[in-house]
Structure 1
Amino acid sequence: MERTITFDGDPNIGVFARVLGDIAIIPPEAPEDFKAALRAALGVTLVETTVQGSSIIGSLVAGNSRGLVVSGLATEEEIDILSQHREVLLLTESMNAAGNVIMANDSFAAVHPDMPSDLREAIGEFLGVETIALVLGGVKTVGMAGVATNKGVIVHPRATDRQIEQLEKIAQVPVGTGSVNMGSGLVCTGLLVNEQGYIAGNATSGFELGRIEDVFGFLE
């Protein structure tokens, strides 16, 4: 099976979509080959919607199997669509690009270090997880610098041993470093993954794909 693709020619596929277990949230204009690749590689149900009228779903949505955390600027129609698949928590404060500032699985959520503690606690309670404020490799937008599933976590290649140790204590799954699209440490921008499989931006090298497969346990 082909493990790389673009979104209408753009290898930054994680900017336009967010995979959360058995669903993939994608914009309505997603190309048919992109939809087919997600179904084949990940076995997901496709949820087609914009968020706050935008197609950059990956930056605006985070969550796990229990719920979705979404920009508070989402419209009622968008919230209605998302609510058919998960409970929804809206971020109504200034730090509302949920996909940029939150990385989560069913055990933990890592958040932007400048996020107010009361908001971090609210997110943790909503998702039913332990939370941690974290920087990864000098990047505060942890939702872009890491990708988590219930089988593994891949993070920015410049993440320090200390940062990885912090994650390992709460993640309950293997944590490793990697990159996408020929060296980008913002791994979420070029990777869509769940427990069933993965797909990466088409500029991702064979070595980078190998690291993804290793971290998430897909090596045969």
Structure 2
Amino acid sequence: MLKRVDIVGNPNVGVFILATDDLAIVPYNLLNEKADIIKETLDVDIVKSSISGSSLIGSLAVANSNGMVVSPHVLDREVKQFEELGINVATVPGRYTALGNIIAANDKGAIVSPFLSDEAIHVIEETLDVNVEATSMVGSDIIGSLIQVTNKGFLISSKAVQSEIKFAQEVFGVEGDIGTVGRGITLVGACSIANSNGAIVAKDSTGPEMARVEEALGFLDDDF
């Protein structure tokens, strides 16, 4: 299922919300009607929480079916909440806290910014149980903001070249394509949330953008 919705009052829905195939972690102050839209579209359980006391959950954490990596400033009560949900949680060492902006991952692989330390990469590999590749893409280090990836496909910034698309396909183990959301926004990871069941994109996304998202994320063959 694919929807364009104003979830948080701006196009940066991926900055505030973290989704896996099983759950979506949303801010405490998200309206219940908005949470219901996410629940229906992504077919997940909704968990209201924070990361480091902040509502910027999608920026401060990354998760797949195997675990979650979070900012080193995560609060103990937050870790306890996630662990009680059965999530394997680990903090990534170093000074970089906006992990969602610099890591893109599914259940098969991850691409991370090259400035992450070997120790940080090791924690990501162990926690998410994936092979990690560190590189810049599209001339930028904000990998997580440039890519929206699920276990069925990926959407990458329209500025990506063919070699970068091929590289992402090899790492993530799924097909994907370039695109934009929200009338030309190239930060597709920051402005969408998605899993294997569906996606929500910025409200101003056009019909052609929606069609590209649907194809890139592998929804065209689904029977909705």
TM-score, structure 1 as length reference: 0.95
CA distance, structure 2, for counterparts of residue 10 and residue 168 of structure 1: 30
Unaligned runs of 5+ in 2: none
Counterpart Cα distance in 2 of 1:205 and 1:68: 32
* AA aligned opposite 1:57: I
Give the total of aligned pairs. 220
Q: CA deviation at 1:44?
A: 0.7
Contact 1:25 1:46 in 2 (8 A): yes
The residue matched to 1:209 in structure 2 has which SS? helix
Which deviates the most, 83-92 or 102-111? 83-92
Question: Aligned partners of 2:94 and 2:112: how far apart in 1?
Answer: 14
For residues 141-171 of structure 1, give each alpha carbon's deviation from its aligned partner in whole angstroms, at most 9, with x where no partner exists. 1011101111001111111222222222222
Q: 1:37 to 1:120 in 2, by over 3 A?
A: same
Q: What is the Cα deviation at residue 118 of structure 1?
A: 2.8
User: Which residue number in structure 2 is paired with residue 149 of structure 1?
Assistant: 150
In structure 1, the residue matched to 2:38 is 38
Q: Which runs of 5+ in 1 are unaligned?
A: none
CA distance in 1, matches of 2:23, 2:53: 20
C-alpha offsets along residues 83-131 of structure 1, whole Å, 9 cap, x if unaligned? 2231101123102221111110010011011111232122112211111
Q: Runs of 4+ in structure 1 displaced over 4 angstroms?
A: none
Mapped to 2, the partners of 1:9 and 1:111 lie a distance apart of 28
Please give the per-residue CA displacement for 1:19-76, whole angstroms capped at 9, x wherever unaligned. 1121101010001221011111111111111111111111001021000001110111
- The worse-fitting range, judged by mean Cα deviation, of 12-21 and 62-71 is 12-21
Write out aligned runs for 1:1-220 (5 A): 3-85=3-85, 86-219=87-220
% identical aligned pairs: 31
Shift of 1:8: 4.0
Secondary structure at 1:187 match in 2: coil
Paired amino acid for 2:35: K
Single out whichever of 46-55 and 2-11 deviates more from structure 2.
2-11
| Two-structure CA RMSD over aligned residues (Å) | 1.5
Q: Deviations over 1:191-211 (max 9, x none)?
A: 111111111110111111111
